[in-house]
Chain A
Amino acid sequence: MGSSLIIGMAGAGGDGIVSAGESLITAIALDGYHGIMTKSFGSQIRGGESSCRLRISPRPVLHPGGTLDVAVALNWEDFLRFGAELTVGGHTVVIYESKTGVAPDQIPLAGVRPAEAVPVPITDMAKEFAGTDRAKNTVVLGLLVGWFGIARESLLAGIRKKFAKKGTDLVASNERAFSGGIEYAAAHPLRSDLRIDPPEPGASAKLLTDGNDMCGAAALFAGCEFMSGYPITPSTEIMQFLSREMWRYGGTVLQAEDEIAGIGAVVGASFAGKKAMTATSGPGMSLKTEILGLATIAELPLVCVNVQRGGPSTGIPTKSEQADLFQAAFSAHGDVVRPVLAPVSVADTFGVTVEAFNIAEEFQTPVIVLSDQEIAQRKETVDPIDTSRFHLVERRRPSEVELESYVRFRITESGISPISHPGMPLGNYLASGIEHNEKGAPTASGEVHSRMNEKRLRKIEPLKRRRDLFVREGDAAAPFALVSWGSVAGVAREALDIAGREGLRLKLLVPKLLYPVAEEVYRDFFASVRRGFVVEQSHQGQLYRVLRMFLEVPRGIEPFCKSGSNPITPAEIVEKVRGVALALQRERGQHLQPQE
C-alpha cells in the first residue's frame, strides 16, 4: 500500500468536478485522513472548465504532491487544459469517460504511457442510475470509493446531507449513482494497487479549511476588532470570512474604496486603540506602502497580510509566487525595519497570524504576513489546535502615574513607549507622519531625528532572538542544508524525508520570521554547512539574496528557485541534493553510506 494517493479530476463547467472534490476531502477529513485539495479553473471567471486535485494520506501531508496517481477525465479537451496541474506519469491510473470514443492505447497524452487507461461509461451510468447526466460526479465518487476503498460511509452520509435540501428523489437517485459506481469498480478490478493505509486507529476528525479562512479565524482569536480591505485575488476570502464572522464579536469590517483607504482606516482604528488588520496581494501592497511608513513612524500596531501571487503588476493573479519578500522588507522610504512573517501551511497560518498581532502590539509596528496563493486557497485537513497554547499580547498602555506627565514617544530602555488612545484622559497627543520629538511635536532637527530613528529601530532588535520563529529539522551536524519558506517549505520538508531515507545527511531550516534577519540563528545553522540550497518560488531567489545582505552565507549555499506558477517538487530537490552530495563526497573523500 502507498503512503498517499493523489487524485486529479477535470471536467466541463457544470460537471461538478470541484464539488465532487469537496465532498471527498470533507469525507476523508471526517474519517481522520490527512489531505490537501487544490482547485484550478479555466480562463473564464465562471462557468468554464474546472479541475481539482486531492492528496490523501493516513500521515501528515505537507504539499499537494506532483504526478497524479489517479487521473479522472470527463472529457479530454478540458483535462488537457490543466496539463500543468494534472500531470500524468508512468504509474498513473487514468479513468476517463468512454463516450469520448478514445481507445485506451490512444489517449491523448503525448509521450506518456500511464500504468492503465480505463474507459468508463460515466454519463450512461449517471443517466441509468439517476436519470440525469448531472449525477456524473456522484458516479465518479462511487468509482473512487470502489477502487481505492476510501471514506465510503462518510461520503454516503455527505451525499445524503448535500441532497437532503433538494428532496428525497435527488437523495435516492444520487445514492443509486454512488452505489452504481462502487459496483462497477468491483466488477472491473484495476491491475494497479493504489490503496492506501487506513487512518491510524482512533484518528479523530480533522478540521478542514484554507489559509485565508484560517487567517481570518486567527485574527479574531488574536482580538482583532477592525478589518478594512479591498477585493483582490487571491486574498479576498480573508475579508469575506471576516465580513461574516467579525460582527459577532463586536468588530467592524469596512470594504474600502481602494487599497489605500483600506490600510488608512486600519491605521485609524489602531490609533483609536483597537487591534486592526488589512489583507491584500501584490498590487495592493504597492498602494499601501506609503501608509505602512506612516504606521512605522507613528508607531501604530497593525497587521497587513499579503497573499502573494505572480508579479510584477497584474502578473498571474491566480498562481502562487514568493517574489514579494523584497517589497515586504524594503518598500519603505526612510530607515525602516518592518517585521515580516510567513506561514508554511494552512494550519501554520493560525499561529503565524496570532504571532503577527502579538509582534505588532508589543513593538508598536506594522507587521507583514507573507502568505501565498498556494496556502491561502488550498483546502487542507488540520489537526485540532489547542488554542490555549497561544498567549495574546496587548500593547503597553500608560499607567496612571505615567499619564500624569505623559510623553507619547518617550525614549525608554526598550525603545517601546506606552501608548494611549483617544478617549483616555490625560493621554492626549499628536500622532504624525512628520518627524516628531518625544512629546509628539513636529521637528526638523537632525539630532531628534537620529534619536527617534535609533529608538524605532532598537525596539525591534529583540525579535531577532526569537528562535521559536524558526523550525530546524534533520541532522543538526549535517554538512548539507536546505533553507525554505512559505508553502515551498512543505516541499522541502518532504525532500528532507526522501533524502534521509536514501541515507543523505541533510538538515532543513524554515524561517517564519523573514525580516529582520535573525543573524545568530542562521549563523548557528550554517556552522556545520558546506553545501546547500535556499529553495523558493521566485526568479531571483529573494530570501537567498536578503540573507547575503546581512550574513556571511557559506559559499556552497546556492539559490534553487523558479518563477511562480512552476511547481517545485520534492523529487527535483532530492535530485539536486544527490548531485551536490556526490560532489561533496568526492571533495571530502568520504563515503556517504545508506543508513542501515
Chain B
Amino acid sequence: MSSVPRPLEEYKAADYKSDLKPIWCPGCGDFGVVQAIYRALSAVGRPPHEIAFVSGIGCSSRIPGYTTAYGFNSVHGRALPIAQGIKLANPGLLVLVAGGDGDGFSIGGGHVAHAIRRNVDLTYIVMDNQIYGLTKGQLSPTSARGARTVTSGFGSMEDPVNPLLYVLGYGAGFVAQGTPADMGALAAVIEEGIRFPGFAFINIQSPCVTYGEAHQQLKAHKTDMRSLASMQHDPADLMKAMDLAREYGRSLYTGVFYRNPQPGPTFESEARHRHETLRSSALPKEKILDLFLPH
C-alpha cells in the first residue's frame, strides 16, 4: 500500500488506487465516488504519502482503504474530530474526510458545525444514500418522510435533515453536490473542494443499489440532475445558494452551491501566527518548572 514519491506531474489516477478490493455491492454508487476521488487527487497532484484520508463507519467509510493515501477507517461518527487533530498536528498534509449520511448527520452530526466554524482546511465528502446500507436497510437521517425501511415498516414519521442547508447555515465556505451519474462534474467539484482554502463540503448522491428505491438510482439521476452552472447560479450568492439548497430531496442540483469569495482565515493559519508570536517567550523545556517559582 506504499507509494514511492515522485515529481508532482507524474501522479496518475491509478497511483491513488490501492490493492484492496472494495466490498461494495456491484453497482454501488461509491464505486463512482472513489474513481472521482482518484481523478481529483491526480489533478491536485499531491503524493499519496502527504494525504491523510479519514472516515467513520458505514459502507462509504471503507473508502480510505481503497486509496494509497494514509488512511484512517475510524469509529462511527468521529471522522471529523480525528481529521481536525491530524490537520492541526501537521497542517502540511492534505486531509480528506469521507462518510455516509448516518455517520455525518446522525451519530456524528454534532461535530459538523464545529469543524465548519473552526474552518479547518478539510474536504468533507458525504456519500448520501438516504439509507443505512451496511446494517441492511434501516432509516437514515436523510430518509424521506414516509420512507418504508426495516425500522419504519409503516413509513417514516420524521422529516429528513437537509445536509446542504445545514452546512450553509453553519457557515461553510464551500458547499457543492455531485453524483456519480456525471463523473466529470463529480471529479471537478471534489478537486475544487480540495483546492478551496478552508472547510469544504461535498454532498454526493451515491445510490444504494441494494436498499435504495428506483428513483434514487444512477439511471434516474441521469435524467433528473440539473447543473447549477447551467442555471446561471452565482456561487458567491449565499442567499440564492440557500434557496436552492431548500430543494434538497426534491431536485437534484449538481455543482457548487456556494463558494465564499473572501474565505476567512483557517484555524491552522491562526495557529501558525500564534506560534510565531509566542515562540520567543518559551522557557527551555528543562526549566519548565520555573513557571512554578513562587512570586
List the interface of chain A (C-beta within 8 A of B): 26, 29-30, 161, 205-209, 213-214, 217, 220-221, 223, 225-226, 228, 245, 247-250, 252, 254, 256-258, 260-262, 264-274, 276, 290-291, 293-294, 298, 350, 382, 384-385, 387-388, 403, 406, 420-434, 439-442
Contacts and interface: CB of A to CB of B under 8 A. Distances in A.
Contacts of A220: 285, 288
A426 B78 contact: no
Contact of B271 (A252, A260, A431): A252
Contact of B85 (A228, A294, A431, A439): A228
B289 A256 contact: no
Interface stretch (B49-57, B158-166, B212-220): B49-57
B189 to A, nearest CB: 24
B90 A422 contact: yes
Contact of A350 (B69, B73, B289): B289
Contact of A425 (B47, B93, B271, B291): B47
Contact of A226 (B88, B93, B285, B289): B88
B275 A250 contact: yes
Nearest to B281: A248
A434 B288 CA distance: 40
Contacts of A429: 1-2, 70-71
A213 B292 CA distance: 9
Contacts of A256: 81, 114
B282 A425 contact: no
Nearest to A260: B78
A433 B50 contact: no
A273 B275 contact: no
A381 to B, nearest CB: 8
A250 B289 CA distance: 18
B110 interface: yes
A225 B110 CA distance: 26
B291 A290 contact: no
A576 B99 CA distance: 59
B65 A430 contact: yes
A426 B282 contact: no
A89 B257 CA distance: 74
Nearest to A408: B1
A508 B209 CA distance: 66
Contact of B88 (A254, A258, A262): A254
A420 B3 CA distance: 13
A422 B52 contact: yes
A425 B51 CA distance: 11
A431 B89 contact: no
Interface string B75-87: 1001011111111
A271 B289 contact: no
Interface in B86-101: 86-90, 92-93
Which among B70, B88, B289, B294 has the highest number of chain A CB atoms within 10 Å? B294
B89 A257 contact: no
Contacts of B20: 430, 441
B64 interface: yes
B119 interface: no
A387 B287 CA distance: 8
Contact of A382 (B51, B62, B292): B292
Contacts of A420: 70
Interface in B243-290: 271, 274-275, 278-279, 281-282, 285-289
B75 A291 contact: yes
B289 A217 contact: yes
B74 interface: yes
Interface residues of B, number: 60
B89 A433 contact: no
B233 interface: no
A332 to B, nearest CB: 13
A267 B82 contact: yes
B195 interface: no
A385 B290 CA distance: 10
Nearest to B66: A430
Given A250-B275, A426-B49, A433-B73, A265 B82 contact: yes
B228 to A, nearest CB: 31
Given A260-B81, A265-B82, A270-B89, 14 more contacts: A206-B294, A220-B288, A225-B89, A245-B291, A257-B111, A268-B85, A269-B89, A298-B72, A387-B288, A422-B69, A423-B49, A426-B5, A428-B49, A431-B70
Return the 3 tightest CB-CB contacts between A and B, nearest first: A268-B85, A264-B81, A265-B85
28 contacts: A205-B293, A209-B292, A213-B292, A214-B292, A217-B291, A248-B281, A249-B285, A256-B81, A262-B81, A270-B85, A271-B52, A276-B85, A276-B89, A290-B75, A298-B72, A298-B74, A387-B287, A403-B2, A422-B52, A422-B90, A425-B4, A427-B49, A428-B48, A428-B70, A429-B70, A430-B72, A431-B70, A441-B20
A442 to B, nearest CB: 7
Given A254-B88, A265-B82, A265-B88, A425 B5 contact: yes
B206 interface: no
A245 B52 CA distance: 28
A245 B274 CA distance: 11
B68 interface: yes
Contacts of A26: 294-295
Nearest to B78: A264
A268 B81 contact: yes
Most chain A beta carbons < 10 A, residue from B54, B57, B83, B90: B90
A329 B87 CA distance: 31
Contacts of A206: 294
Given A30-B294, A207-B293, A441-B65, A247 B72 contact: no
Contacts of B287: 387
A422 B86 contact: yes
Contacts of B57: 433
Contacts of A214: 292
A271 B86 contact: yes
